[in-house]
Amino acid sequence: MTATHAAWADKGTYFSQTRSIRCGSLVLDLSKPVVMGILNVTADSFYDGGKYLTPSQVTDRAGEMFDAGATILDIGALSTRPGTHGGNAEEETERLIPAIELIRKHFPEALISADTYRASVAEMAVGASAAIINDISGGTMDDEMHGFMLTSEAAYVLMHIQGTPATMQQKPVYANVVAEVKAFFEKQLQPFVDAGKQNIILDPGFGFGKDVPHNYQLLAGFADFTEFGFPLLAGVSRKSMINKVLQIKPSQALNGTTVLNTIALMNGANILRVHDVKEAVEAVKLFGALQEYNL
């Protein structure tokens, strides 16, 4: 850790002191883990692409996830599956902003996250009422992103990626994946530490520039990231780290997802980002019972 960050960590972040985080005008209680439901309004996402494109499909799916216990709804309008080059900002905005506005209209109290790595899109999303920006690049794919987030009251999910979605799975290499992700967080957090912005969520980026061994090394070492004093997000839902080990399709990976979500919870995850909200909420409840009744 840098001297500045170490001093801050010793003093205690807002999250470490309150077990909560500010998201715009809202305060997200993280005294217990919560579930972030994934809503992709894209035609080409790896698991649910093309399922939620019409207004009724979007609102029906959002309602299902909130009814199942989702605390946060993460809306994505650009596929970042391995090998994709992504559309342009105009296309992303044309899908994302109406979806945010539609969700806000039907679910006025919803805590909405916008999944984007573009600062211009993030700014419009926050203007449309998104309270969290979920950036898969941690600020490495748009030099303007950190500058915008430093001026915004929205919370920021800072995720690790090696490369870009187009290149990230072309033989990723690490000497020590946990140590290198920690070093990445150290570097990317510094502007926020210097400015005193504390509503940051860290995501080690399972599947983003990592092969199967790297992903399991990250999961095994997940607890190491708690030393930063920020909430931790785990996004393993139906990813290849499950499918390749079990030799199954993403559509068959619900049980494997639940197993890995449970391991993530036991290693310190505060937010589970998932396609299947009901099962993740059940995992959180059972994990809570384990904590409550453990002697």
- The residues that are catalytic are 239, 273
DSSP 3-state assignment of 147?
A: helix
Enumerate helices (H) and strands (E) in the chain, giving the number of each. Answer: 11, 10
Q: How far apart are CA 126 and CA 129, in angstroms?
A: 5
DSSP 3-state assignment of 28?
A: strand
CB 85 within 8 Å of CB 47: no
Q: Where are the alpha helices (DSSP H) in 165-276?
A: 177-195, 212-220, 240-246, 254-266
Q: What percent helix, strand, coil does the chain show, rounded to 5?
A: 45, 15, 40
Q: How far apart are CA 141 and CA 124, in angstroms?
A: 18
Structure tokens given for 103: 């969700």
CA distances from 294 to 1, 216, 255 (A): 33, 26, 25
